[in-house]
C-alpha cells in the first residue's frame, strides 16, 4: 500500500465517523411523535346525519305499524280475462290506434273512359314518378307519386303488371310500358 492510498482511507473513515455522529445528534433534537388515546368529538355533520337516519327509521316503523290494519281491506283482485291468458305472443299496443294505409287499390279512375278503345297517351305516363320499390315479407310494393301500390293495382288507366328492383312494368290494354325507379 502506498502512502497516498493510506491517507485516502484515513480520510474516508474520518468523514464517515463525522457523518454518523452528526446524524445521531440531529435525531436527538427532533421531537418524537406522541400517540394520543383520547377520542375526538364527532363533527356536527355526522351528528345531524345520525339523527336524521334515526328519525327516518322511526317514521317508517310508525307508518308500517299503522298500515298493518289497512292492508287487509283491499279485497279480492279481479280475475285475469281468458283472452289475456290465451295470448301466446306479443301483439301491437292496443292503446294506439292503427293507421289505415291506402294501398292504391282504388286509383283515380274516370268512369266515362273506355280503356280498351283509347290508345295510351305518353304525356299521362310521364307524369307518373316512381319514387321507390320495397319488399315486405312476400309482397312487393312500389311508391308512385307518394302513394303505395302493389302488383295488380291501377293508377289512372295503367295497371301494374310486374315490379322489379329497378323498374316497374305497366300494362295499358295490350301495351306494356317499362319505367325505371326514380324516373
User: Model confidence over 104-114: pLDDT tens digits?
Assistant: 544 444 444 45
Q: Where are the domains of the chain?
A: 122-180
pLDDT at site 107: 47
Query: What digits encode the pLDDT tens for the residues 29-52?
Result: 777 777 767 667 777 777 777 788
120-146 core/surface letters (b: 16 or more CB in 10 A; e: else)? beeeebeebebeebeeeeeebbbbbee
The fold of 122-180 is SH3 type barrels. (2.30.30)
Q: Alpha-carbon distance 163 to 160, whole Å?
A: 7
- Residues 69-92: what's their mean pLDDT? 67
Q: According to the model, what pLDDT value does residue 116 have?
A: 54
- Residue 154: strand pairing partners: 159
At residue 62 the predicted structure's pLDDT band, cuts being 50, 70 and 90, is confident
**Contacts for 49 with CB less than 8 Å, ≥ 6 apart:** none
CA distances from 18 to 14, 21, 52, 157 (A): 6, 5, 64, 118
Q: pLDDT tens digits, residue range 100-159?
A: 655 554 444 444 445 555 544 555 778 888 899 988 888 889 998 888 998 888 887 888
- At 59 the pLDDT is 83
- Would the pLDDT of 74 be above 60? no
Q: Are 5 and 13 in contact (CB under 8 A)?
A: no
Amino acid at each position: 500500500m502506498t502512502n497516498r492510498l493510506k491517507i485516502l482511507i484515513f480520510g474516508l473513515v474520518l468523514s464517515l465517523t463525522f457523518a454518523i455522529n452528526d446524524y445521531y445528534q440531529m435525531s436527538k433534537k427532533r421531537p418524537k411523535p406522541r400517540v394520543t388515546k383520547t377520542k375526538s368529538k364527532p363533527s356536527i355533520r355526522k351528528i345531524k346525519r345520525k339523527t336524521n337516519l334515526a328519525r327516518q327509521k322511526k317514521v317508517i316503523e310508525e307508518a308500517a305499524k299503522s298500515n298493518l290494519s289497512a292492508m287487509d281491506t283491499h279485497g279480492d283482485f279481479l280475475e285475469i280475462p281468458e283472452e289475456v291468458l290465451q295470448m301466446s305472443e306479443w301483439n301491437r299496443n292496443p292503446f294506439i290506434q292503427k293507421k289505415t294505409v291506402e294501398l292504391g287499390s282504388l286509383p283515380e279512375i274516370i268512369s266515362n273512359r273506355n280503356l280498351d278503345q283509347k290508345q295510351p297517351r305518353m304525356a299521362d305516363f310521364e307524369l307518373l314518378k316512381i319514387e321507390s320499390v320495397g319488399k315486405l315479407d312476400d309482397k312487393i310494393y312500389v311508391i308512385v307519386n307518394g302513394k303505395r301500390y302493389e302488383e295488380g293495382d291501377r293508377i289512372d288507366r295503367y295497371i301494374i303488371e310486374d315490379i322489379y328492383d329497378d323498374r316497374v312494368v305497366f300494362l295499358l290494354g295490350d301495351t306494356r310500358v317499362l319505367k325505371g325507379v326514380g324516373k
